[in-house]
Amino acid sequence: MPHPWSDAPGVRPRERNHHVHPDPNGRPSWRPGERGPDGRRARDRAAGPGHLAGPGGRRDRCPLSLRWEISERFDNHLSTHVLEGGATEDAEGVITFPGGVGTYDATTGEASVAYEGSVAGSFVAVGATQYTVTVADPVVSVDAEGAGEISAVVSAWNTGGMGNPEASTDPTRVVVTTFDASEGWTDGDGVGTLAATPDWAGVLPAGSQQATDLGIGAGKPVDGQSFSPAFLGALTPGVRAHFYASGASSDTQKDPSPFVAEAAPVAPPTVTYETLGANPTEGLTLSVEGQGFRAVTQPGDNGVYVGLAEAGGLPPVEDREGQDAFAAVDWIMPSRITEGAFASVLNAPTAKLDPAKQYAIYTWQAHTHSNVSQDTETPVTIDWSQLAPPPPRRSPSPVLSRSATPRPRGWASRSTASRTARVGSP
């Protein structure tokens, strides 16, 4: 006779039986498919008054959601589902965890999004619950290499029987499963979606130390097919076999189901500036502030640069000629970026500015411009009249006095000539 919580084919899965748990406000529980006086189905009412559930149980007031069946085995065998925290379930057994908070980077694919809600899946036989697995508050994370994981707060319980004691585990956040996110996010209207199928084969090699520590017998998991070892460790030993390939006919239902995660795109970096001064001697001085910047996007990145150059596109900063195109440049080291913000002062000598050109403030990733996620171009208005040198001062014309007026040689005034004539007359 198989153990009461065995995954052996002799234990028949119970017909799916799930309901929303009564909440602290006293709203009654209901079963999906029931229609109330308002004519709406139970899973629609779960979204709350005035907020009809959309496709997959998605709630309008919480647009970011994770939709995941977890596994066919979880849906069909641990089929009595208690939903809390706003989680809903559709007719196909796909659970919607709402209230997503987090972002994804459309350039790098990096993401971290936390969702709300929980589902407790139980196997019930002859009216008595035999075991329960609870998955709550899942978080979807993706790194720059495209490696993703779903973590959650997990706990389990099973009744005693066949010489085995009752057992339970405390709620603990663990990695439930991993996945490949290299295909990236699909950008939508203010919401990005990521569709992926979690890893299964090769996750937990048979005979490995991890498998042995989890009490899994020799040759199992078959082909290493398993949920994350950390997830198995958060379950009671008698329940673990429902989440790895044990050689039973039910193995075909145990692999993790595909999921769809939603996230908000990362706001692009922005730059503002203020003109602190402009004169021919000291040049143009600008106070620059940035928001939403990242010091490291790819391995080896080291802050950002901010510089002033001719408008119309970032110069080729990878070569010397492009670097020489800047009238002023400042390296914003990682230590100068706090919560995505930085401040800088640029001073461009007058000799490096051409009144015939338009100028802009640029930013880009330091040092090798490994990606364009930190690229910005902000037009700058310059009052060229303040940078123009003053007109040259004209020397005053000399003014000669009458007494100093030169006279031709041999010239004498009329009065002198008259006096001379009188003296010399007979």
Tokens of 110: 């990096």
Q: 109 with 78: CB under 8 angstroms? A: no
- φ/ψ of 212, rounded to 5, equals -65, -45
User: Can you give the pLDDT at residue 292?
Assistant: 94
Question: Average pLDDT over the chain, rounded to whole?
Answer: 84
User: d(Cα 385, Cα 388) in Å, to the nearest integer?
Assistant: 5
Q: Which residue in 193, 191, 374, 341 sits closest to 265, CA to CA?
A: 191
* pLDDT, tens digit (0-9, with 9 covering 90-100), for 162-216: 778 899 999 999 999 999 999 999 998 889 999 999 999 999 999 999 999 999 9
Among 146, 145, 129, 270, residue whose Cα is nearest residue 196: 146
Q: Beta strand 259-265 with 101-104: parallel, antiparallel or unpaired? A: parallel
Q: Token pair of 346, please?
A: 């640029």
Statement: residue 374 has pLDDT above 50: yes
pLDDT (0 to 100) of residue 404: 52
**Pairing outcome for strands 304-310 and 359-365:** antiparallel
Structure tokens at 340: 């995505």
Q: With 90 as the cut, is the pLDDT of residue 402 above it? A: no
Angstrom CA distances, 149 to 66, 98, 322, stand at 13, 18, 41
Q: Could you tell me the CA-to-CA distances from 379 to 47, 136, 376 in Å, in that order? A: 46, 48, 10
Highest-pLDDT range among 209-213, 299-303, 405-409, 419-423 = 209-213
pLDDT of residue 262: 97
Task: Return the CATH number of the domain spanning residue range 270-387.
Answer: 2.60.40
Higher pLDDT pick, 209 / 37:
209
Phi, psi dihedrals of residue 321, rounded to the nearest 5°: -60, -40
Q: Which helix (H) or strand (E) holds 421?
A: helix 414-424
Q: At 114, which amino acid appears?
A: A
With contact defined as beta carbons under 8 Å apart, do 398 and 366 qualify?
no
Radius of gyration of the chain (CA): 39
pLDDT: which is higher, 26 or 239:
239
pLDDT-derived band of residue 405, with 50, 70 and 90 as boundaries?
A: low
Q: 153 pairs with which residues across the strands?
A: 136, 173
Phi/psi for 48 (5° steps) reads 100, 160
pLDDT of residue 309: 98
Phi, psi of 186 (to 5 degrees): -100, 115
* Model pLDDT for residues 307-357, shown as the tens digit of each residue: 999 999 999 998 888 889 999 999 999 999 999 999 999 999 999 999 999
Instruction: Judge whether 302 and 295 are in contact, CB under 8 Å.
Output: yes
Q: Are strands 186-187 and 167-168 parallel, antiparallel or unpaired?
A: unpaired
142 compared with 15, residue with greater pLDDT: 142
Residue 237 to residue 232: CA distance in whole angstroms: 8
CA torsion angle 160 165 170 174 (round to 10): -90
Helix (H, G, I), strand (E, B) or coil at 423: helix
Domain boundaries, the chain: 17-265, 270-387
